[in-house]
Structure 1
Amino acid sequence: MFLLFAVLIVCGMYVSLTNGTFDISAKDVVRTLLRIHPVADHDLVIFEFRLPRILLGALVGFGLGIAGAVLQGITRNSLADPGILGIHAAAGAFVVVFMFFMGGTMKAPGWISVMSMPMFGFIGGLCSIVLLYVFARNQGEFHPQQLILVGIALASGFGAVTLYVSLRMDPENFEMATVWLAGSVYNANWRQVLSTLPWLVLLTPVIWRRAAVLDLLQLHEVSVKGVGVAVGRERQILLLCCVGLVSACVSVSGAISFVGLIAPHIARRLIGNTYRYIVPLCGLIGMLMVVIGDFIGKTVFAPVQLPVGIVISIIGVPFFIFLLFRNRAR
């Protein structure tokens, strides 16, 4: 499965890199990447437009896929994902506030400037998690229905804040915020890739090392404590890692919903319920979804470019309704 999805991702990247408004042959792509008789037009299209966009989409999909698997694992709820629980909306609201006050930039040297938007998104994600802990727990446990209801309420509240702040922006920043909120990577650049990569590199191994804990968390709370797992501490660590991944992704791509919902379900059907394999496979599935979704959005509706968040939502909404009916049937 890992090899299959890796091949599919490479194929998707290849198709997206060579096709578009300005088609480039595979031979020219290889020559440009290897710096063999480079052409200025090819350099511009590949290094400034397509390659950052493809890599950023892959990173965002990877982070959201893993975050969805973690959230479904720690809540024991197959309908949980960063968008439904309000994490997307909270991180997005704080990033829009940052864009409003800072004009999308921060006058600071080096990595402080690069990491500023993800940090604001992380603070927003933490706020949503705190509110979920306060309102969605009963006697120390998460109840699936209450968790979904609280998440929807939080998403609506933070969405209202986002709308209010965006309406107070000047026309240029408002247009940028509107496109960003739809979930898009078509304005990607190397700086955004660099701001997202450290979060994935640092937090993904922390989550993967706790795959056995995620397996145990599928048991009843009393049973998990009985085998010596510090449930509260482990759940908090996993939640913080999840918030970090989602915030880093939202800060550069906006709210791309349903990746974290769909990827874990596909992974479980393919390889079972062992999180040691589910976590990395969810990352690969998320990468494939965003890369292919972005390619569809920029080619099928050309010359108009449809944000990848809308493309995935077209698939995700029916899938979510199907899961609701299936859970009700059980």
Structure 2
Amino acid sequence: MLSKPTGFRYIKSLLILIALLITLFYISLTNGTFDLTVSDVLHAFLRINPVPTHDFVLFDLRLPRIVVASLVGLGLGIAGAVIQGVTKNGLADPGILGINAGAGAAIVLFLFFFHEQIGSFSVLMQPLFGLIGGLGAAVIIYLLAWKNGRIDTQRLILTGIAISSGFGALAMYLSLKMKSTDFEMATLWSMGSVYNANWQSIFAMLPWFILLIPIYRKSYLLDLFQLEESSLKSLGVSLEKEKAILLLSSIGLVSACVSVSGGIGFIGLMAPHIAKQLVGLRHRYIIPICGLIGMTLVVGSDFIAKNLFPAEISVGIVISIIGVPYFLYLLLTARS
């Protein structure tokens, strides 16, 4: 059983992150080019003397963006914890495994061939293409990483890096062949953005979250995976089957996120490390904290990207400014 101090740290971290997230929601809803007061927001939600301008700013622009950013952070944070747990590699990240690149190449392919013909249905079709690309990349990587009847975790990461480079080159080639307007959209998406967030994107993501978030019930397996494989087999754990279920579930989450927000990196890398520092090494505590940390990072970075620069930049750039130094720090720490 977990010690009381660890459980206390978990509850304390949970409450602090929830409070921080609520604060970010409030700041993101009320601040921007068109500022709103708390009274304006409450009146809009409670439908008291509704103002069309306030409704448009809240329900068409800001709220969908906040919800998409929250879901993306939640999915990438949880997926990062699962992938690091399965591979037993603290430097593993969904982007390293090529999922981001596979989804990105598929969406660039969609923009290149079908964007004009599909028209108003493009918002719904784009996530579908992203999911197909992300899962396709994952299947290729999974098959290539299979060795001697099991998944070789080192080969999994090396194969992911190679496949990511290949899909990235394909996406770049297709982007250069696009019209200027489509090229701009593809470039913005590839850097990671929730600029075009809308309720259709949210509804496209939700089924995958409802289906895949229950992997939390298998969090105890991630603790067992830190043991030697011979010990796990002696405990009667179906090792490769459980690894496959957890990896495919996390890949589905990543693909759903990337299909809407583009290539936002480093969330799946940073969130598990921060969570372990806060609550220890038990994954039943790490996974919820990872989700909240991911939500906080993406929502906060989106607010910074939208409001604190002379011109709006992509949320992926802000996260990279934080993530690259953190990755180098982890790399140096691992070497030492």
| TM value normalised by structure 2 | 0.91
Count of paired positions: 323
Q: Percent identity?
A: 55
Match of 1:103 in 2: 115
1:118 equivalenced with 2:127 (yes/no)? yes
Q: 1:228 to 1:52 in 2, by over 3 A?
A: same
| Cα shift at 1:107 | 7.8
> What is the alpha-carbon distance in structure 2 between the residues aligned to residue 218 and residue 129 of structure 1?
23
Preserved contact between residue 118 and residue 195 of structure 1 (Cα < 8 Å): yes
Does the CA contact (< 8 Å) of 1:114 and 1:195 recur in 2?
A: no
The aligned residue for residue 39 of structure 2 is 27
| 2:163 maps to 1:154 | yes
* CA drift at 1:292: 0.2
Cα distance, 1:211–1:115 mapped onto 2, change above 3 Å: farther
**Could you report, residue by residue, the CA deviation over 1:81-110 in whole angstroms, capped at 9, with x for unpaired residues?**
11122111111111221222220775899x
Residue 116 to residue 218, structure 1, CA distance change in 2 (3 Å)? farther
Q: Tell me the amino acid that sits aligned with residue 218 of structure 2.
A: R
Deviations 1:37-61 (A, max 9, x none): 1111111111111111011100100
C-alpha spacing 1:130/1:168, structure 2 compared with 1 (3 Å):
same
Number of the residue aligned with 1:320:
327
Residue 253 of structure 1 is matched in structure 2 by 261
> Which residue is equivalent to 1:43?
55
Corresponding position of 2:186? 177
Measure how far apart 1:198 and its partner are: 1.6
In structure 1, how many angstroms separate the alpha carbons of the residues matched to 2:276 and 2:107? 33
Structure 2 matches for 1:134-149, cutoff 5 A? 134-136=143-145, 138-139=147-148, 140-144=150-154, 146-149=155-158
Stretch deviating more after TM superposition (124-133 or 54-63): 124-133
The aligned residue for residue 244 of structure 1 is 252
Partner in structure 2 of residue 222 of structure 1: 230
The range that moved more, 51-60 or 210-219, is: 210-219
The equivalent of 2:78 in structure 1 is 66
TM-aligned CA distance change 1:106 to 1:63, over 3 Å: farther
CA distance in 1, matches of 2:237, 2:250: 19
Tell me if the contact between 1:114 and 1:194 (Cα under 8 Å) persists in the aligned partners.
no
2:85 paired with 1:78: no
Shift of 1:31: 0.7
Q: 1:285 to 1:36 in 2, by over 3 A?
A: same
Conserved in 2, the CA contact under 8 Å of 1:122 and 1:243? Answer: no
Q: Give distance in 2, aligned partners of 1:4 and 1:121.
A: 34
> Which among 22, 47, 53 is matched to residue 10 of structure 1?
22
Deviations 1:105-132 (A, max 9, x none): 75899xxx87543332233223332333
Cα 1:74–1:327, aligned 2, differ >3 Å: closer, same or farther? Answer: same
Contact 1:137 1:143 in 2 (8 A): no
- Of residues 228-237 and 115-124 in structure 1, the stretch that sits farther from structure 2 once superposed is 115-124
Render the CA deviation track for 1:47-82: whole Å, top value 9, x for unaligned. 111111011100100000001001001100000011
Contact 2:124 2:201 in 1 (8 A): no
Tell me the residue number matched to 2:103.
Answer: 91
Q: Is the 8 A contact 2:151 2:240 kept in 1?
A: no
Question: 2:7 is matched with which residue?
Answer: none
Q: Which moved more, 1:218-227 or 1:48-57?
A: 218-227
| Partner in structure 1 of residue 206 of structure 2 | 197
Q: Which runs of 5+ in 1 are unaligned?
A: none
Q: Does 1:273 align with 2:281?
A: yes
Q: Which residue of 1 aligns with 2:66?
A: 54
The yes-or-no answer on 1:307 pairing with 2:307 is no
CA contact (8 A) 2:30 2:41 kept: yes
- Residue type matched to 1:324 in 2? L
**5+ residue gaps in structure 2?**
1-12
Q: Is the 8 A contact 2:81 2:287 kept in 1?
A: yes
Provide the secondary structure at the position in 1 that maps to 2:255. Answer: helix
